[in-house]
Amino acid sequence: MTAMAGSYVAFVAAAYGMAAVALGGLGLWVYLDARSVRRRLAELETVSGRGRAR
């Protein structure tokens, strides 16, 4: 393998790594936000005295 191919492989690996970190961060953000929204909804349902209609 030439030096040029080695640097290309390193660049591609770094790009995939950064994309994986970014997607993981977005997934974590969505999970934490959904948990927060569920908590706030439960609090509002408790305060209003009504539950969800089923």
Contact 5, 11 (CB under 8 A): no
Domain-located, residue 5: no
Instruction: Give the C-alpha distances (Å, rounded to integers) separating 12 from 2, 7, 26, 31, 49.
Output: 16, 9, 21, 29, 55
Host domain of residue 27? 19-47
Q: What is the mean pLDDT of residues 25-50?
A: 94
pLDDT of residue 49: 79
**pLDDT per residue as tens digits for the range 26-35:** 999 999 999 9
How many structural domains comprise the chain?
1
More confident residue, 1 or 16: 16
Q: What is the mean pLDDT of residues 11-20?
A: 97
Domain-located, residue 10: no
Coil, strand or helix at 24: helix
